[in-house]
Amino acid sequence: MLAILATAGRGEGRGHLARALALAEAAQEQRVPCAIALLRGEPSAAERERAQAAGAELVAPGGLPGDLLPGQAAPLAVDLPDPNEAGAALLERATVFDDRQLLASPARVVVQSSLPTWTPAPGARAGRALVGYAFAPLGRSVLRVAGERRPRAEGPIPRVLVCFGGSDPHDVTARVGLALAADRRWSLDLVVGPDYRGAAEARGLAVVREPPDLAGRLATADVAVIGAGTMKFEAAALGVPAILVAVTDDQLPVGPQFAATGAAAWAGDGREIDPAFVVELLAALALDPARRAAMARRGLQVVPGDGARRIVVATMTETGREETE
């Protein structure tokens, strides 16, 4: 049994639960039963369906995996904004996502897939560290679409997918989306997540909320304008060039470093940036097929797509070393 502690709390985004579900799907492929406990928040209907399809039990908010499973030695993964919330006793036997490098105690395995290096905070150490974008856990729907990927046919105008995460608490969707939608040099597919409460629709923008075919929509886009969270890995694995726009503080340090790989372009802080600048970046990329092709090739190299499987295997085995890719 693999237990996963994650969150879907309002304002925390949906990325932590998305990664938990990706691990559950990988665990199912490894024939490992899985339970996901949420510290905060509720799964959406689509997230519940994903969990059910993966054979994963979803536990009500507030439950801890150690309380749910017989014995305290069951393999455990922790994916929280601040992993220290789980407590040192759980962390010392867990696989811990440490995106912001806040971990302050020992862990059995540390995953740092948001940056190319892991710099432990004081008190943190890992029996094994999985470091780099190759360990980004991608969901089954993305991997399936990636496996079926065909050469992209050029249309009369570029297709652009815009999505700023599950909640977009500062409403970058409306702020930037209005400027992008006003330009007729491309067709726009504007996607919002289950927690989005912004003003895009009130301002006349046509949005699609949590579409079940998001991976397919992303794969057929010529360019994606997205938040600098989990979705940047999905775009890269699908060979889709992306412009990254930070929508939260924790995306500010990770966006430029991922863009430095050549798999994406960095726009800046979407809460402050002039939307006209994003339009200029998009025009330069959307109207340059050669640059888009080079960026797509680089994305496929940077994010091979098997990160979830590798994390599950590391969690279920007892080895002590660092892997960096």
The domain segmentation of the chain, as residue ranges, is: 2-138+306-324, 147-302
The residue behind tokens 């105008």 is: 157
Report helix, strand or coil for 92.
coil
Q: Which residue has the higher pLDDT, 250 or 155?
A: 250
Q: How far is CA 136 from its chain centroid?
A: 8
Report helix, strand or coil for 75.
coil
**Contact predicate 296/196, CB 8 Å:** no
Q: Taking the domain 2-138+306-324, which CATH number applies?
A: 3.40.50
Compute the average pLDDT of residues 94-123. 96
Q: Taking the domain 147-302, which CATH number applies?
A: 3.40.50.2000
Predicted pLDDT at 324: 62
Please count the CA atoms within 13 angstroms of the CA of 90 that sit on its side-chain side.
Answer: 21
Instruction: Locate 41 and state its tokens.
Output: 């928040």
Name the pLDDT band for 69 (thresholds 50, 70, 90): very low
Q: Is the pLDDT of residue 164 over 70?
A: yes
Compute the average pLDDT of residues 298-325. 84
Predicted pLDDT at 68: 47
Query: Do the domains 2-138+306-324 and 147-302 sit in the same CATH topology, yes or no?
Result: yes
Three-state SS letters, 16-57: HHHHHHHHHHHHHHCCCCEEEEEEEECCCHHHHHHHHHCCEE
Compute the average pLDDT of residues 148-158. 74
- H-helix segments, the chain: 15-29, 45-53, 65-68, 88-91, 140-147, 172-181, 214-219, 231-237, 254-259, 275-286, 289-302, 307-316
Q: Which residue has the higher pLDDT, 62 or 191?
A: 191
Predicted pLDDT at 9: 86
Question: Which of 9-18, 49-58, 65-74 reaches the highest mean pLDDT?
Answer: 49-58
What amino acid occupies position 210? Answer: E
Closest by alpha carbon to 240, among 162, 185, 301, 292? 292
Compute the average pLDDT of residues 275-286. 96
Compute the average pLDDT of residues 79-101. 94
For the beta sheet containing 56-59, the strands, ordered from the edge strand earlier in sequence to the opposite edge, are 56-59, 34-41, 2-8, 76-78, 94-97, 106-112, 125-131, 322-324
Predicted pLDDT at 11: 76
Name the pLDDT band for 70 (thresholds 50, 70, 90): very low
